[in-house]
Amino acid sequence: MVQKYFEHLYENYCKFLKWTGIIASVAFFIMMLLVSTDIFSRKFFGAPLKGTLEIVESLLTFCIFMGAAFTLLTRGHVRVTIIPDHIPAKAQHVLLVIVYAIGTAFFAVVAYNLFLFAWDSWLFRETKWGTIQYPLYPVKFFSGVGCLLLAIQFLMDFLHEIYHPTLGKEGGAHE
């Protein structure tokens, strides 16, 4: 019963993360359009687009944090396997469980602190100064959301590895 519930939850969370990956990809595309338009405008009209740097900075932060959990889900991060390749499968399993537990705890703490950071930014009405002025708390808030999603993905992988051990299969829980 619990295992079926977890599998259903895990499947829905994976679908949700795919959407965050798509949204982050769209944000990257918007960044590309903004930078290209800014370069074109500066080169041919002598007038860059106002606020391009500030918008691109914010979008880049959004893309990195919102795409991190999806990247973990798809095993898109760089993995160094020098040590795991030379240890027994059961030891690899234990190592993977430990890594997932540490990742869960670490990113949960980071997310919590980023939410506090965003809250302070909102209370003080902190703004970014440049060619345009805009509030910083949304960027900080989405950084916290991204780290929370990453912590949840680490937790899902931890639970998946406990209930369905991969025992050293390449790629972890998503084989």
pLDDT at 7: 82
Confidence of residue 9 (pLDDT cuts 50, 70, 90): confident
Q: How many helices (H) and strands (E) would you count in the chain?
A: 4, 2
pLDDT in tens, 22-48: 999 999 999 999 999 999 999 999 888
Per DSSP, the three-state class of 135 is: strand
Q: In whole numbers, what is the pLDDT of the chain averaged over residues?
A: 88
pLDDT in tens, 43-97: 999 888 888 888 899 999 989 998 899 999 888 887 788 888 888 888 888 989 9
* Burial class of residue 165 in the structure, from the number of CB atoms within 10 Å of its CB (0-12 exposed, 13-18 middle, 19+ buried): middle
Note whether 52 and 62 are within 8 A (CB). Answer: no
pTM, full prediction = 0.84
Q: Tokens representing 172?
A: 């972890």
